[in-house]
């Protein structure tokens, strides 16, 4: 909810509350026959007390002062009393929940409580019972409101901290996926260039050009990921990679020397942007793992398709990476599993039955799930 929308809700609530207190004052005198009949001045005090709540977000201290001040004046004139207490206590809640500094709101709440208790007694004479009752209720409401506000603020802080951690993890995953793939490609291309630099310099030049292109793409994607920390910018508004970019990804991987078969069968189904971006990252990291671990001569097969409201992703290879003893899933696979779970999907990866490595992920497409 925006600040403007919140202010509109507060204004509407204040009008309804003021109207309610003004109407109830006509019936309050039935239980207080000795009270002064409501007059235009008394109704004006009730309305002002209620309307003070319209400013509870912008200036809770002023709201409290205005609400309690009009309530004390109303009681001092001996108008029928109970509706005005609602306005005073509403002002108290606005003060305690809206002012964070305890050293500020405690003195105001104390003075307000004393003023309300005193105004309940005169001018016919001191009335200890109602005065003590108002003082006790006022103190109890203050303590409960302070406790509730403290809990609410703590939960808000924990939620904000959780969002920060989640955003850090998201940026870390983005950087890992971008840098891991790019560095693996650069490493393979550099190896090709070193091998060919003497005998076939033209092909070595092509490898160097590929390294330059991969490096530039990696820098652009890294800047886009980090720009979120610095704030909105032209880079942060760049669209993330999606399924439509798989062709370029596979071309880059093939240029690095890895054989890749790609099959994409989406039919006419529209793929949500977040699912499309997640699917791209999964394929990217899976192919990166093949380049890093499958060994020379390995070949990867990638299939992306839709099945019963799910986007299915399969990446398999015939390499030797899964057979290396002592190798445990790295940060990449953990990051991919987190990506899949973040959008409501699941991911499984491990050695294939006939050798090599296989990765399977399924991501929900929405309403058909």
CATH of the domain at 302: 3.30.565.10
> What is the domain range of residue 38?
3-126
Q: Tell me if 243 sits within 8 A of 267, measured CB to CB.
A: no
Distance CA 284, CA 300 (A): 12
Q: Does 316 map to a domain?
A: yes
Give the Cβ contact number of residue 332 at 10 Å.
21
Q: Which two tokens stand for residue 99?
A: 């002012």
Q: Which two tokens stand for residue 346?
A: 């699941």
Q: Edge-to-edge strand order for the sheet containing 259-265?
A: 259-265, 299-307, 310-317, 357-364, 346-351
Distance CA 360, CA 310 (A): 12
Q: Which two tokens stand for residue 357?
A: 């490595």
Q: Does 59 map to a domain?
A: yes
Tokens 């910018």 — which residue? Answer: 233
If one counts the domains in the chain, the total is 2
Distance CA 213, CA 220 (A): 11
Phi then psi for 220, rounded to 5 degrees?
Answer: -65, -45
Looking at residue 37, the DSSP 8-state letter turns out to be P
Q: Does 266 map to a domain?
A: yes
Q: Tell me if 254 sits within 8 A of 287, measured CB to CB.
A: no
Question: Is 288 exposed, middle or buried, given 0-12, 13-18 or 19+ CB atoms closer than 10 A?
Answer: buried
Q: Does 139 map to a domain?
A: no
Domain boundary among 100, 126, 152: 126
Question: Phi/psi class of residue 345: alpha, beta or left (left: φ > 0; alpha: ψ in -120 to 50)?
Answer: beta
Q: Does 272 map to a domain?
A: yes
Q: Does 306 map to a domain?
A: yes
Domain boundary among 126, 155, 182: 126
Q: Does 147 map to a domain?
A: no
Domain boundary among 91, 126, 161: 126
Q: Tell me if 68 sits within 8 A of 112, measured CB to CB.
A: yes
The pLDDT profile of the chain, 369 residues, written as one tens digit per residue, is 455 666 788 889 889 988 888 888 877 666 666 677 778 898 899 899 999 999 998 999 999 999 999 999 998 888 877 888 999 999 999 999 999 888 999 999 999 999 999 888 765 566 788 889 999 999 999 999 999 999 998 888 888 888 777 777 777 777 776 666 676 777 666 766 666 666 777 766 766 776 776 676 666 667 666 665 555 554 445 667 889 988 888 888 887 778 889 999 887 778 898 999 899 889 988 888 888 887 777 889 999 999 888 999 999 998 876 554 444 555 668 878 888 898 999 999 888 887 889 999 999 987 444
Beta strands per DSSP E along the chain? 259-265, 299-307, 310-317, 346-351, 357-364
Q: Tell me if 145 sits within 8 A of 93, measured CB to CB.
A: yes
Q: Does 354 map to a domain?
A: yes
């Amino acid at each position: 909810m925006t600040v403007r929308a919140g202010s509109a809700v507060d204004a509407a609530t204040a009008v309804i509350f003021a109207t309610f207190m003004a109407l109830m004052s006509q019936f309050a005198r039935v239980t207080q026959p000795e009270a002064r009949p409501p007059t235009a001045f008394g109704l004006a005090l009730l309305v002002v007390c209620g309307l003070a709540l319209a400013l509870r977000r912008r200036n809770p201290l002023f709201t409290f002062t205005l609400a309690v001040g009009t309530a004390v004046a109303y009681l001092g004139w001996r108008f029928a009393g109970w509706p005005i207490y609602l306005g005073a206590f509403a002002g108290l809640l606005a003060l305690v929940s809206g002012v964070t500094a305890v050293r500020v709101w405690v003195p105001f709440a104390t003075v307000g409580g004393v003023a309300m208790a005193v105004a309940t007694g005169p001018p016919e004479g001191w009335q200890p019972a109602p005065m003590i009752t108002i003082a006790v209720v006022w103190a109890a409401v203050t303590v409960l409101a302070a406790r509730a506000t403290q809990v609410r603020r703590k939960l808000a802080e924990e939620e904000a901290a959780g969002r920060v951690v989640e955003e850090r993890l998201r940026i870390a995953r983005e950087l890992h996926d971008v840098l891991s793939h790019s560095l693996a490609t650069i490493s393979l291309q550099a190896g090709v260039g070193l091998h060919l630099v003497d005998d076939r310099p033209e092909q070595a030049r092509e490898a160097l050009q590929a390294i330059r292109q991969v490096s530039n793409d990696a820098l652009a994607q890294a800047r886009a990921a980090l720009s979120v920390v610095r704030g909105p910018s032209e880079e942060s508004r760049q669209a993330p990679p999606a399924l439509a970019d798989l062709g370029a990804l596979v071309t880059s991987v093939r240029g690095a020397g890895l054989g890749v078969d790609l099959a994409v069968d989406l039919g006419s189904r529209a793929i949500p942007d977040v699912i499309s971006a997640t699917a791209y990252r999964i394929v990217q990291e899976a192919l990166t793992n093949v380049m890093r671990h499958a060994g020379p001569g390995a070949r990867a097969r990638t299939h992306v398709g839709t099945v019963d409201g799910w986007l299915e992703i399969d990446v398999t290879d015939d390499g030797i990476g899964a057979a290396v003893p002592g190798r445990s899933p790295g940060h990449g696979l953990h990051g991919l599993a987190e990506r899949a779970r973040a959008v409501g999907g699941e991911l499984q990866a491990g050695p294939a039955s006939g050798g090599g490595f296989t990765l399977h992920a399924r991501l929900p497409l929405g309403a058909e799930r």
